[in-house]
Amino acid sequence: MTAPLRPSIDVRRADERFVTRLTWLESRHSFSFGPHYDPANTHHGLLLVNNEDVVAAGSGFGPHPHREMEIVTWVLQGSLAHQDSAGHSGVLTPGLVQRMSAGTGVVHSETNDAWHLQGGQPHNEPVHLVQMWVVPDESGLRPGYEQRDIDAALRRGGLLPIASGMPKHDGEAAVRIGNRRAALHAARMQSGDRVQLPDAPFLHLFVALGAIDLEGVGTLGAGDAARFTASGGRQVTATASAEILTWEMYARL
């Protein structure tokens, strides 16, 4: 018999994260990643990776492999060009969500698309993004890719399911991931806006931009996160313009 979950909210501040700094990259890791390893901080629920990256113009991640992972990418500023060995390509800008299912194996690259035209003008700015990984329900799947523009829906407000494998989000989520027990929600909020978090056994709330007040906890700023165990359903209020990313999960690794 499974022991009942002990309710908790574990707040992790932005400056507590592991950091990788290179000439072209600043990457802040919510969980153990690459050379940064802490056996007590490897995941929460089903979420293995929550990396916040800033990539300089003219740079990026060259071709590298992945397998057996569902990877969701969300751009906050700038534009990110994607290409992979399965023939998929695209350019991500704020308001577009991307899902890549690595499956049996895929090689891809992600680079700062510094000369992508925006409003008829090229730009030469860093790209700021959040990339998140969860394991799939099944191994050995064929690699897949989806990209959807949800900018208009974000502007209407509320907490939106943007990447989900849950049956309850069929026809609602912008892209589908290969895990039936996990969903990613996003909200773009103005000061005073309120949303209610899902009531799930495991939640991961990440403040991507701005600042919020979390019911029963207090202020969270950009880069801060809260890991909920049996403590969902709380209200989030924006105290400035903000963007939040929330994983709703019904299992843990």
- Residue 3 in any domain: the answer is no
Confidence class for position 96, pLDDT limits 50, 70, 90 = very high
Strand partners, 214: 218, 236
Strand partners of residue 55: 25, 127
Share of the chain above pLDDT 90, in %: 92
pLDDT at 116 over 70: no
Residue 2 pLDDT: 65
Q: How many CB atoms lie within 10 A of CB 19?
A: 11
Residue 33 inside a domain? The answer is yes
CATH code for the domain of 130? 2.60.120.10
Evaluate whether residue 87 is within a structural domain. Answer: yes
Answer yes or no: is 110 within a domain. Answer: yes
46 in any annotated domain: yes
Residue indicated by tokens 């990110």: 80
Q: How far apart are CA 112 and CA 34, in angstroms?
A: 21
Encoded amino acid at 160, one letter: L
Token couple for 39: 């056996």
Is-contact 81 110, C-beta < 8 A?
yes
Which two structure tokens, joined as six digits, stand for 139?
């191994």
pLDDT band at 221 (very low <50, low <70, confident <90, very high): very high
Domain that holds residue 199: 14-249
**Angle at alpha carbon of residue 76, lines to 166 and 88, rounded to 5°:** 65
- On whether the CB atoms of residues 93 and 75 are closer than 8 A, the answer is yes
Q: Which is nearest to 204 in space by CA: 130, 148, 150?
A: 130
> 3-state DSSP helix/strand/coil percent for the chain, to nearest 5?
5, 50, 45
| Residue-level pLDDT at 113 | 86
φ and ψ at residue 2, rounded to 5 degrees: -75, 130
The pLDDT of residue 3 is: 75
- Asked if residue 167 belongs to a domain, the reply is yes
Tens digit of pLDDT for each residue in 165-200? 999 999 999 999 999 999 999 999 999 999 999 999
The answer to whether position 5 is within a domain reads no
Closest CA to 147 of 72, 211, 215: 72
Which is nearest to 72 in space by CA: 214, 182, 187, 152? 182
Q: Residue 144 to residues 18, 48, 100, 250: CA-CA distances in angstroms? A: 30, 19, 6, 24
Asked whether residue 233 is domain-assigned, the answer is yes
Summarize pLDDT for 147-158 with one digit per residue, the tens: 999 999 999 999
Tally of domains in the chain:
1
User: Do residues 175 and 162 lie in contact, with contact meaning Cβ atoms separated by under 8 Å?
Assistant: yes
How much is the pTM?
Answer: 0.95
